[in-house]
Amino acid sequence: MSATRLSPASTDSSYWTGRVLPSGLDGALLDRLLTHAAVGDGSRELTPVHIPFTGETLGWLRRGLPADINRAVAEARSAQRAWGADSVRARAAVLQRFASLLLVHQEQGLDLIQLESGKARRHALEEIIDTIVVSRHYAAHANAYLRPRRRAASLPVITTAMEYRRAVGVVGVVSPWNFPLILSITDALAALVAGNAIVLRPDEQGSFTALWAAELLYQAGLPAGVLRIVTGEGPVLGPALVDAADFVMFTGSTRTGRIVATQAAERLIGFSLELGGKNPMLVLADANVESAAEGLSRGAFVGAGQVCVSIERVYIHASIFEEFVERFVARVRGLTMSPTLAYGADMGSLTLPSQIERVEAHVADAVGKGATLLAGGKRRPDLGPLFYEPTVLAGVSPQMRAYAEETFGPVVALYPFTSIDEAVARANDSPYGLNASVWSRNIVQATEVAGRIQCGSVNVNDCYAGTWSATSSPVGGMKQSGVGRRHGAEGILKYTEAQTVTVQRWIPLAPPRFMHEATYSRWAARIVNFLGRIRGGIN
């Protein structure tokens, strides 16, 4: 199937007809990427992938069916046996080579990420960098995370205990459209180096990027069948994948996350969920106002605000509220938007028509109910069909949708506060708990405040990059923002089963024939108590 093939009902021409970008991205490359999709044959219905910048067609995907998921899982399960039996170091070498290939081909990846997501190039670069960092991290540390560990046993020398980590088997990954590279591949990397096989269902609007990453993994030496990608609709393929996989990693909405969790629980399989957020930022009275305003201009509008950890609500101490608003609004009004595949734009386009409709609805609802529009607040059709200005609101109240609902767009609301207790309470007054930010010159105070905020990640004097880039430390959500963590030890161990193996020497853990059970019980209790006291407890 050609990436430039037109739907029978379509009369517009593809973006790729006769076009080659300097990075080498063209229709022929997209055709090759499509060969990595484990989806039926040419008779399948086709789905267009549109370029958010222009609305043109990037290419066409075959729509997978549940039968494709079942076949991909069976193929992955077969391939996993040899892959899982290989050494951790051998698997890590694949990740090292993959990271090197990402660096070599980064311009191609940047073009593709932008053309599928609509984000500015600087934000697409974050995806390349993060994927390289995660690859290097797990390649370097997987052996330490997964190594067998000697554990204290009941009787030293006589009993020895070892903890082993075994791959769960086939991991199903369901990834969204807002980070087509990071969220489709980095979770898979941790699972792969742990010895699992992967069946990935990427969002249709990010499938070409996922297929591109898969091609680089194959070039890096990943065996055939260990990673299978099935393209198509989430409501069709997602349930089938949860029904067939041994573990599920899902990133998406809280509503869908509940469905995934319920289905996985019915099968008694493990799952990890990163879900929605309504992320707060606290600007304390002693904060550097200029730095906080500049930081928020990045933290609220990265990826046009379509980022699970981006800031949507900001609480500013009343003593600096007016100054902060003045400086922040001036910065927002100076941000540049452009549909360019070059560096220079501060913000790109939204990705989907449904997203710009949601953003418009939230802003219109807020303004219609009395909120003040300080900046932005309108589409920019002169730039492209899905461009929306970075928007700042004040006076947002609980009866407005933008107050508590996740907007997932370039909209931020500003609120004054008078005490730290008030700010913390308002930050925690949300069903979500994914990411937060605290700004202050007093690091001790800011860290104490951070510890009171009910979020899985809290950044001091930064909005999101600090916690996200600390790859050895886990990130994830509290409350309705998710279950489980990615990155660090938790990000790889969740793809394993813990197995304990003990070896008993010389005498059994049972009464000897020559001793009465009552006597044995008294002595055994004393010995165990003594060992527990000197070792701080048997563990």
pLDDT in tens, 291-334: 999 999 999 999 999 999 999 999 999 999 999 999 999 999 99
**What pLDDT sits at residue 518?**
87
The total of other beta-carbon atoms located within 10 Å of residue 99's CB is: 21
Among residues 126, 204, 274, 389, which one is catalytic?
A: 274
Decide if 166 is inside a domain: yes
Q: How many CA atoms lie within 13 A of 426 on its CB side?
A: 22
Average pLDDT, rounded, for the chain: 93
CATH number at residue 335: 3.40.309.10
Write out the residue range of the structural domain in which residue 219 sits: 66-275+489-493
Q: How many domains does the chain have?
A: 3
Which entry of 116, 126, 127, 308 is annotated as an active-site residue? 308
One domain, residues 244 and 100: yes
Q: Same structural domain for residues 195 and 312? A: no
Q: At what angle do helices 207-219 and 27-34 cross, to 10 degrees?
A: 80
Q: Which helix (H) or strand (E) holds 134?
A: helix 121-146
Residues 263, 405, single domain; the answer is no
Give residue 17's pLDDT.
58
Q: Please report the DSSP string for 380-416 in residue order.
A: -TTT-TT-B--EEEES--TTSHHHHS---SSEEEEEE
Tens digits of residue pLDDT in 324-364: 999 999 999 999 999 999 999 999 999 999 999 999 999 99
Shared domain check, 97 and 217: yes
What residues form DSSP beta bridges with 392? 375, 412
Same structural domain for residues 104 and 185?
yes
pLDDT at 55 over 60: yes
Tell whether 460 and 534 lie within a shared domain: no
Active site residue 308: yes
What pLDDT was estimated at residue 73?
98
Would the pLDDT of 1 be above 90?
no
pLDDT band at 18 (very low <50, low <70, confident <90, very high): low
Predicted TM-score (pTM) above 0.85: yes
Does 192 map to a domain? yes
pLDDT at 11: 34
* Residue 342 and residue 232 in one domain: no
* Structure confidence at residue 3 (pLDDT): 33
Residue corresponding to tokens 């050609």: 2
Same domain assignment for residues 226 and 363:
no
What does the pLDDT look like over 206-250, one tens digit per residue? Answer: 999 999 999 999 999 999 999 999 999 999 999 999 999 999 999
Whether 8 is covered by a domain: the verdict is: no
Same domain as 340, residue 240: no
Known catalytic residue at 322:
no
Within-domain flag for 372:
yes
Chain-centroid distance of CA 321 in Å reads 33
Tell me: pLDDT of 477 over 80: yes
Question: What is residue 536's predicted lDDT score, i.e. its pLDDT?
Answer: 61
